[in-house]
Structure 1
């Protein structure tokens, strides 16, 4: 058996596009409230609301929409027009219904690795929405297990890789977020592979653990099979 037996994949902005839809909706949000507050101030207020609300609503589009509505009420001192609230709700529905667009090399990497490793999707967000996205992606059959979690901590990874594999020591996690997808699995004893993609959500920012032996960074998923080959042969 190779050194790695289980590979965990993040979903949003690792396998398919996601953050860019949040950015587009934020631009729409700023335009709707342009008469009330400058865009940069509005985004700071929205980010503060998102931080406050993570413990209440969790990650995902529904919590994002509620945070936008809360921010709109705050910056207008409760005078936000009902039409703006209606447009924000419509924007959230559009985000939920947006077609899945896979990132480059995602399907090829999954196809190459599925015959040799246990693949586990480990992602945050709304349960129904993430299940729907996985089904629409066409990748669902390749995964041996799916874990949709409220947060990504070393303990969460340790349990997931023990439940679906041979423990964190023989597991590797791939994702675009250093804070959620890379550092916690390394702390759990596994490998963490960073594949950055596009603008990063402020809440997910962290410094890369460059001095750790089990940290790697790749420009895209196309290089993941070669990395696994190197690790297993090292």
Structure 2
């Protein structure tokens, strides 16, 4: 019997390997560096909100990833200090961003085994957002690159983007499944494109990536980790 699904897409950051933890570490450093330069009534939560607002505002200009995050930190530092932030702090923020681009890749549990198992019976495509060079670096260090039939680094994950990718690398979205940790980027839009979306929760999720689960859809699935993906695919058929 022919399979209903022929193509499986995997998200990368915080689905296959750790990523958000490095942003949290750097954001804590950002708060430390600005502690002595911000108004007394601006606590850590207010500073975090200012940074998040800058990140959201800059997505259309800088896109996703470390470089946009670093520029948003610098912009926020200038804003909250009324332009008085010392050059030494800007320098340390740049160095913190550069350090993020060199953090070693650590695969999440079951990531390799899941991709290897799925690749035996399906076309597998890595679909990720972020800076091209950084995503290429992480994929190379992960050791998973040879398992994928295709790799797509996109500026945004929309229904149209998924439809185009799965048409090009598979048999269309209706015969595809996407697995990832972001409800907003990895699940909702692929279901809207006609495919199956699998939510794989991760403990740390950037606020921008939150969205309501499309629980009403029969093409929505949730698994505890990627180790459960092969069994889910067998169930869907």
* TM-score normalised per structure 1: 0.98
Match of 1:9 in 2: 10
Name the SS of the counterpart of 2:101 in structure 1.
helix
Q: CA shift at 1:17, angstroms? A: 0.2
Q: CA shift at 1:107, angstroms? A: 0.4
Q: CA shift at 1:113, angstroms? A: 0.9
Match of 2:27 in 1: 26
- What 5-or-longer segments of structure 1 have no aligned partner? none
Query: 135, 140, 147: which is aligned to 1:142?
Result: 147
Match of 1:174 in 2: 179
Q: C-alpha distance in 2, partners of 1:5/1:199? A: 30
Q: C-alpha distance in 2, partners of 1:132/1:21? A: 15
Structure 1 residue ranges (4+ consecutive) displaced by more than 2 angstroms after TM superposition: none
Q: C-alpha distance in 2, partners of 1:229/1:23? A: 37
Q: C-alpha distance in 1, partners of 2:80/2:43? A: 10
Name the SS of the counterpart of 1:7 in structure 2.
strand
Match of 1:198 in 2: 203
- What 5-or-longer segments of structure 2 have no aligned partner? none
Query: 142, 155, 160: which is aligned to 1:155?
Result: 160
Superimposed CA distance per residue, residues 126-185 of structure 1 (whole angstroms, 9 cap, x where no aligned partner): 011101110110000000001100000000000000000000000000000000000000
Name the SS of the counterpart of 1:97 in structure 2.
coil
Match of 1:74 in 2: 79
Q: C-alpha distance in 1, partners of 2:44/2:33? A: 10
Residue pairs, 1:24-63, within 5 angstroms: 24-35=25-36, 36=38, 37-63=42-68
Residue pairs, 1:76-155, within 5 angstroms: 76-155=81-160
Pairs aligned (count): 232
Superimposed CA distance per residue, residues 27-71 of structure 1 (whole angstroms, 9 cap, x where no aligned partner): 000111112131111000000000110000000000000000000
Match of 2:189 in 1: 184
Q: C-alpha distance in 2, partners of 1:73/1:66? A: 11
